[in-house]
A and B are shown apart, each in its own frame.
Chain A
């Protein structure tokens, strides 16, 4: 299990290794897996990890590490 801070809330996620090697920094989960785990796959969202935008093209790269802070946002009504 790893712990991520998602939209300000601490959450624990199982590590699921789809045959992908763990990188040298111990990053084992990618964004696509995370979104699927949270039921957000296919949604119009944008993601920031530790203050930096994660482009959609990088969603499949294993990059999440224990303690990462993620913001997952959507467009809502506003003035």
Chain B
């Protein structure tokens, strides 16, 4: 069982403290102003960005995401979304480091196929090794395989980010038992990345003991993204507090009323239980 901190409950990643345990993506919004409003409503401090070829010769005055979400106000987490090979992922993050003035905290994902966007763990581990050797601090998207998760930690990843279900699926937490094993074995933060659909999913992830939740589509594809961002902020906080508080044990019987059993004005007592053990 991992230690349940009750004082100064910060998320610590690569020796930096964050007060929000919700990390959000910046994709799929209708424009940058909605992106910014959703990010702010979520309270997230760490936000993911993608690295893409610039449009050549079109819209010279096109707004830039980095002007809307400046690195002075947020910790930007460049990702390797869309990369299917070690080489593409490593090149993408080298470009990101150059783009963001030497910034080394990154999100690595090496995908297996475009239909499921499931991670290719063999390639992911190889890419992580190269990046860590080059001085990157790697937060890594992984399958919910406890062995792969442990290997990623052992090679030096600063956060392990298992999927709850497929990217963009909104299916919620499909295998809480694997997540629990990953959490219990990990000594770096475990952040559920992908699959959260609504606020209760985020709360459940946090109640399991996850250190944080990373999401994009659950907010961006909601009917009202700003309101959902606010809901997710509360869900992550609620789930964290519930985890720290330690839930009551579940019990099917042996009901225990919350109000005193004595002193009611009822003229007759409760019917006797047929179960002798009560």
**Among listed B23-31, B123-131, B173-181, B247-255, interface-contacting one:** B23-31
Total number of A residues with any Cβ neighbor in B under 8 Å: 27
Which residues between 29 and 79 of chain A lie within 8 Å of chain B, taking CB atoms? Answer: 38-40, 43-48, 51, 53, 55-56, 71-79
For residue B50, CB closer than 8 A to chain A, the reply is: yes
**Cβ-neighbour of B76 out of A11, A53, A73, A75 (below 8 A):** A75
For residue B35, CB closer than 8 A to chain A, the reply is: yes
Total number of B residues with any Cβ neighbor in A under 8 Å: 40
Q: Determine if A76 and B216 form an interchain contact, defined as CB atoms under 8 angstroms apart.
A: no
Give, as a whole number of angstroms, the nearest-CB distance from A49 to chain B: 11
For residue B133, CB closer than 8 A to chain A, the reply is: no
For residue B167, CB closer than 8 A to chain A, the reply is: yes
Which residues between 14 and 65 of chain B lie within 8 Å of chain A, taking CB atoms? Answer: 25-29, 32, 35, 48-54, 56-57, 60, 64-65
Q: Determine if B95 and A48 form an interchain contact, defined as CB atoms under 8 angstroms apart.
A: yes
**Cβ-neighbour of B25 out of A7, A46, A79 (below 8 A):** A79
Given A76-B50, A79-B28, A79-B81, check contact A46 B35 (CB 8 Å): no
Q: Determine if A79 and B48 form an interchain contact, defined as CB atoms under 8 angstroms apart.
A: yes
Q: Determine if A77 and B35 form an interchain contact, defined as CB atoms under 8 angstroms apart.
A: yes
B92, B99, B168, B215 — most chain A CB neighbours (10 Å): B99
A56, A72, A78 — most chain B CB neighbours (10 Å): A78
Given A45-B54, A51-B91, A73-B54, check contact A78 B60 (CB 8 Å): no
Q: In whole angstroms, what is the CA distance A53 to B68 when docked?
A: 25
Which residues of the other chain, A, contact B99 by a CB distance below 8 angstroms? 44-46, 73-75
For residue A8, CB closer than 8 A to chain B, the reply is: yes
Q: In whole angstroms, what is the CA distance A75 to B66 when docked?
A: 7
Q: Determine if A44 and B64 form an interchain contact, defined as CB atoms under 8 angstroms apart.
A: yes
Q: Determine if B49 and A76 form an interchain contact, defined as CB atoms under 8 angstroms apart.
A: yes
Which residues of the other chain, A, contact B98 by a CB distance below 8 angstroms? 46-47, 53, 55-56
For residue B172, CB closer than 8 A to chain A, the reply is: no
Chain A residues packing against B (C-beta within 8 Å):
6-9, 11, 38-40, 43-48, 51, 53, 55-56, 71-79
A-B contact pairs, 26 of them (CB 8 A): A8-B53, A38-B57, A39-B57, A40-B54, A40-B60, A44-B67, A46-B96, A48-B91, A48-B95, A55-B98, A73-B53, A74-B54, A74-B65, A74-B66, A75-B50, A76-B49, A76-B52, A77-B25, A77-B26, A77-B49, A78-B216, A79-B25, A79-B28, A79-B168, A79-B215, A79-B217
Chain B residues packing against A (C-beta within 8 Å):
25-29, 32, 35, 48-54, 56-57, 60, 64-67, 76, 78-79, 81, 91-92, 94-100, 167-168, 214-217
Q: With A6-B56, A51-B91 given, name 15 new contacts (CB 8 A).
A: A9-B56, A40-B60, A44-B67, A48-B94, A53-B97, A56-B98, A74-B51, A74-B52, A74-B99, A75-B96, A77-B32, A78-B48, A78-B50, A78-B79, A79-B215
By Cβ-Cβ distance, the 9 closest A-B pairs, closest first, are A78-B50, A79-B25, A79-B216, A46-B99, A77-B26, A46-B98, A7-B53, A77-B27, A75-B49
